[in-house]
Amino acid sequence: MRVEQRKWSKNLGWEILSDHKIGTKSQLVFVFGSTELVQDQKLFDEVRDIYPNAEIVVSSGSGEIMNGLVSQHTLNVTAIEFENTTIKTLEINLDDVKDSFDVGAHISAHIDKDGLSNLMIFSNGNQINGSHLLTGLQFNLSEAVPITGGLAGAYDPFSSTYTGLNNIGTEGKVIGIGFYGDKLKIGHASKAGWTPFGPERFITKSTNNILFELNDEPILDFYKKYLEGLFEDMVEAIRIYPLGIKTENGEERLLRAFLDYNQENGGALFAGDMPEGAKVRMMRSNVNSLIDAASEAATASMQPFEITNPDLAICVSCVGRQFVLQDWTGEEVEGMTAAFGDNIPTAGFYSYGEIAPQGPNKKSALHNHTMTITTFKELV
């Protein structure tokens, strides 16, 4: 497996970061960038000219990750040549299906399952219920097949997001990538660095991913009880203090990122399902905890390998972490890169939701506020 990378910015144009002359031999290319650049037909055509035979997967983010750095308003290209691995891709348009579950069910039904070792998903980020997408994806797949990836992001909080397969990024697309062959070892990890505080509450009124009440109390009143006086804007406060849903094993919590608040009906829109009856607690973190968690995710993602040093790491972190990290956002990526080692190619973006198993031998789930990593190592 060989990986080469290049980067485009307005000031510098194309920069070649690594070049192994794999052009016509590349089977898969990841293109991560800002919303305006992933829609640029000229730039896409230039990538296609370099990699004419590759499946090109495009996703926007709220920041681009590449080799220890976080940048904005760039287009980052990571091309892969596999020696003993096959990939198959498909794309679903949200306009062609009934709902988010149906998107996942279509992908899991139509992806070739013979020899499938891993499924990566890159989805529209603001028009989809990520929890329902995962349920649909798992409907026709064995639990032994891990699902990783993420929901596209954007710089402006929770505005339009763009994904594409063999074309520029557009709204409303979900892309699946299947990996096949016994020579490819794939690791994954998702770490958050958040801790609960305050009493546990029950979700007493919700509709899918819209939360209205905790313990029969309006959601905004709940937050005001703890945070009023600390923030001028309570909606911004909810973004910094997400909610953690207690999982079945009770050991970890699935974090849910706040997206928007509807003043008319008092509903808070979250990135994943907020099921009635679920137990939740408010979550908090700090810069050091988030940086440490990113490093821990990198280390954990390498544990399945019998040998160290993956060939590539695809990293999807959450826009919600940026609200806390702010000027320290680059530090979590540096910590992650240090855990891998300087010579391991990394690529990724900041997202509206992350997809990964909840732990070793566990089902995949939609995460928020996490650093999620998928590592690849192809054996000769």
307 has a pLDDT exceeding 70: no
9 has a pLDDT exceeding 90: yes
pLDDT of residue 232: 77
| pLDDT mean over 32-36 | 97
CB 357 within 8 A of CB 283: no
Q: What spatial distance separates the first Cα and last Cα of the chain, rounded to whole Å?
A: 9
User: Residue 33 and residue 39: Cα distance in Å, rounded?
Assistant: 9
Q: How many CB atoms lie within 10 A of CB 318?
A: 29
DSSP character string of 94-131: GGGSSSHHHHHHHHHHHS--TTEEEEEEEE-SSSS-HH
User: Residue 312 and residue 27: Cα distance in Å, rounded?
Assistant: 15
379 has a pLDDT exceeding 90: no
309 has a pLDDT exceeding 90: no
Residue 44 identity? F
| Structure-token match 């923030």, residue found | 231
pLDDT of residue 251: 62
Residue 91 identity? E
pLDDT, tens digit (0-9, with 9 covering 90-100), for 66-119: 988 999 999 999 999 999 999 999 999 999 999 999 999 999 999 999 999 999
| pLDDT mean over 7-27 | 96
367 has a pLDDT exceeding 80: yes
CB 151 within 8 A of CB 30: no
β-strand pairing of 116-123 with 147-151 = parallel
pLDDT, tens digit (0-9, with 9 covering 90-100), for 162-188: 999 999 999 999 999 999 999 999 999
CB 122 within 8 A of CB 150: yes
- Please, which residues bridge with residue 365 across strands? 356
CB 346 within 8 A of CB 315: yes
pLDDT, tens digit (0-9, with 9 covering 90-100), for 262-297: 889 999 988 889 999 999 999 999 999 999 999 999
Q: Indicate whether this model's pTM tops 0.75.
A: yes
Q: Residue 259 — φ and ψ, nearest 5°? A: -105, -50
pLDDT of residue 144: 85
Q: How many CB atoms lie within 10 A of CB 164?
A: 23
pLDDT of residue 158: 66
pLDDT of residue 88: 97
pLDDT, tens digit (0-9, with 9 covering 90-100), for 213-232: 999 999 989 988 888 888 77
